[in-house]
Structure 1
Amino acid sequence: MRSLRSTVVSTALAVGLALGLVGCSTSEPASDSAAGSSSVVIPEAKFSQELHDRLPQSVRDAGVLKLAGFQFPPYAYYAKDGTTLQGMYVEVAASLEKVFGVDVDFTVEPSIGDVTSALKSKRAVASLSSLADLSTTEESFDFADWIREYVVFLVKKGNPEKITGLESTCGTTVATLQGGPSEKVLNDYTKECTKTGREPITITTFADQNAAVLAVRSGRADAAFSQQIPLTYYVSQDPNFELAGVNQANGFPNLYFGAYALKGDPIVDTLLGAFEALRTDGLYDAWLQKYGIESNRLEKFGINLATKTPETR
């Protein structure tokens, strides 16, 4: 049996929301219980000779497919011991070993910028991480999309400010990631608030996701504004939180995630084929159930869905 080689490049924090859209890592190791529901049985992935043969010759010769990611729960994160890597993408990487019949070296980089450097320097062939497929990111990368994402609000239990979406944030204090597109969306919408005679949004920015969530917990912010999947993780870890404005645009276009590689690299088509195989074998739906993200299910996988019309997907 081939073993997954999860290389710890750095336990440094992943940096900010780059939407491109990506999330930040937490400021501390995640709870061991965050690895998802242990009651969900994940089926076994099956070897595909056809997909193995579609791998680059260099990968087949070396017997290793090198993938890069960064720490971002529930995709990939460290347990309380600070060294054990866990999460959905860790399981995906292990299953890709079985589909392709080669070892998978899943390397956790310090930040999304380091993932890009790993791709450009050929230290990795592709990435499993939460960089969003957008028209801007497609200028540099091709995406094999298999997850739908939204940007939502994390609030205290009971939603005391009654935030139901972006349009209800006027007059509230919202925490978000510094320099990311979520901050831009809030800045744009606060102008709409004042234009229509409502109180502006007080926008507080933080270097990482954990700090933004802590601002809500301490009462310094009414809500945190970020991706639905990671905020779902935070809610699963703290019963004093809930989500608001879920499954809505909230100022963003349709968001898709999956694997990506440098523009024009044929590995993206091969990874899409592997994702389709994992769905056929039941692993995709099992993972969504295990990590509590069934609402992020994508009915039809595809390449670069952000810039395709429904008719061409």
Structure 2
Amino acid sequence: MRLPRITIAATAALTLAGAAACGGNSGETTGTTGGTALYGRLPDAIKEAGVIRFAGDSHPPYRIVANDGKTVTGIDKEIQDALGKALGVRTEISIVNGLPAALSGMLASRYDAFNGPVKDTAEREKQFDAIVWMVSRTSYLIPKGGSAAVKDSGDLCGKRVAGAAGSVVEEQAKRLSDWCAKQGRPALAFIGLADTNGTILAAKSGRADAAGMTESAAIDAMAKEKDAYTYVTQTDEQGAGVDQLAMLVPKTGGLGPVVLEAFKEIFANGEYKRIVDKYGLQNVAVDQPAMNTATNTAPTTGAAQ
């Protein structure tokens, strides 16, 4: 049973370790309490706890989970650390099993936010504030030693494609299947799995011909295993477009607008650019963060997509 938030706050005063979150394993907590201009605008529950609890699944290079199942590194960790500093509170990541667990956990008040990156949609905005901080194109990782001859995204017609269930990739794979049908070719067979690591393993083991993911995740996988993979990117003709990717925060708590201001601060002070440059995300960066872009004006992208 999870302790009340006020109890967590008292415990946090005695230890740097975060309380274990129900339904997941807690990673390191970082940051300090108070002392920033935005701290006073935080919801009382967050100020009492002194921590923002993020849900997160395994999704390199955004969340790289160590073998202990708790220690998290990567883009997500650095973005959250920067936001926590701007807000004057600690941050805590709890590892969950995929997007549905993150969404249901937030609605059950086990977590305060999920950094995705997850597509901003009008349907999700009914329950969550979506703070867009990057964009994405869908790519497909192809094992070089596999039997499938995939030279471009059109060659995926009729192939088995693994992807995270409920993710942008699943939607994009459906659009690619529709394109295949218009060409008189067979649709993709989509294999929905819990996270990006699972999709890569499916491709490596031969259960899938390709693993769908963000382009930055595909580049990261190729860097980790030299000469093991190639990748192809879905085209606009195949329904790809550019997706607005967001951090989700439940609307009920009132945290979303304050997190948006924290994002604006890390854009202004250079922390966002530092993290983007470190991980080579220049092509998927945005000029400014924006909230609820599915119903409001979308942000301008950085480099040409």
> TM class, shorter-chain normalised?
0.7 to 0.9
Does the CA contact (< 8 Å) of 2:128 and 2:249 recur in 1?
yes
Deviations for 1:98-140, whole angstroms, at most 9, x for unmatched residues? 2222222333333333333332333333332333211221122
Task: Give the 5 Å matches for 1:135-150.
Answer: 135-150=122-137
The correspondence for 2:217, drawn from 230, 235, 246, is 230
The correspondence for 1:304, drawn from 264, 268, 292, is 292
Deviations for 1:65-112, whole angstroms, at most 9, x for unmatched residues? 333333322222322444422222222222233222222233333333
TM-score normalised to structure 2 length: 0.73
Tell me if 1:161 matches 2:147: no
Letter in 1 for 2:275: W
Deviations for 1:139-166, whole angstroms, at most 9, x for unmatched residues? 2211111111221111245995211x3x
- Between 1 and 2, higher relative CO (CA 8 Å, sep ≥ 6) is seen in 1
Give the secondary-structure state (helix, strand or coil) at the position aligned to 1:162: coil
Letter in 1 for 2:180: C
Tell me if 1:71 matches 2:53: no
Letter in 2 for 1:155: I
Give the secondary-structure state (helix, strand or coil) at the position aligned to 1:273: helix
Cα deviation, residue 4, structure 1 = 6.7
The correspondence for 2:117, drawn from 118, 121, 130, is 130
Residues of 1 paired with 2:299 and 2:284: CA distance? 21
Cα deviation, residue 302, structure 1 = 0.3
Cα deviation, residue 181, structure 1 = 6.2
Task: Give the 5 Å matches for 1:25-64.
Answer: 49-64=36-51
- C-alpha spacing 1:189/1:249, structure 2 compared with 1 (3 Å): closer
Does the CA contact (< 8 Å) of 2:290 and 2:298 recur in 1?
no
Deviations for 1:229-261, whole angstroms, at most 9, x for unmatched residues? 333332221222133116858524542223222
- C-alpha spacing 1:104/1:83, structure 2 compared with 1 (3 Å): closer
Residues of 2 paired with 1:285 and 1:249: CA distance? 31
Give the secondary-structure state (helix, strand or coil) at the position aligned to 1:229: helix
Tell me if 1:273 matches 2:271: no
Residues of 2 paired with 1:304 and 1:4: CA distance? 34
Corresponding position of 1:103: 90
Letter in 1 for 2:64: Y
- C-alpha spacing 1:83/1:188, structure 2 compared with 1 (3 Å): closer
Does the CA contact (< 8 Å) of 1:133 and 1:257 recur in 2?
yes
Deviates more, 1:215-224 or 1:75-84: 215-224
Identity of aligned residues (%): 25
Give the secondary-structure state (helix, strand or coil) at the position aligned to 1:307: coil
- C-alpha spacing 1:218/1:52, structure 2 compared with 1 (3 Å): same
Letter in 1 for 2:278: K
Corresponding position of 2:7: none
The correspondence for 2:243, drawn from 244, 250, 255, is 255
Residues of 1 paired with 2:284 and 2:100: CA distance? 25
Letter in 2 for 1:230: A
Cα deviation, residue 297, structure 1 = 0.5
Corresponding position of 2:74: 87
- C-alpha spacing 1:190/1:300, structure 2 compared with 1 (3 Å): same
Does the CA contact (< 8 Å) of 1:151 and 1:249 recur in 2?
no
Deviations for 1:29-72, whole angstroms, at most 9, x for unmatched residues? xxxxxxxxxxxxxxx99x97321121113322443333333332
Corresponding position of 1:29: none
How many residue pairs match? The answer is 278
Cα deviation, residue 170, structure 1 = 3.1
Residues of 1 paired with 2:244 and 2:265: CA distance? 19
Residues of 1 paired with 2:199 and 2:258: CA distance? 37
Corresponding position of 1:18: none
Deviates more, 1:249-258 or 1:84-93: 249-258
Residues of 2 paired with 1:270 and 1:129: CA distance? 18
Residues of 1 paired with 2:51 and 2:207: CA distance? 47
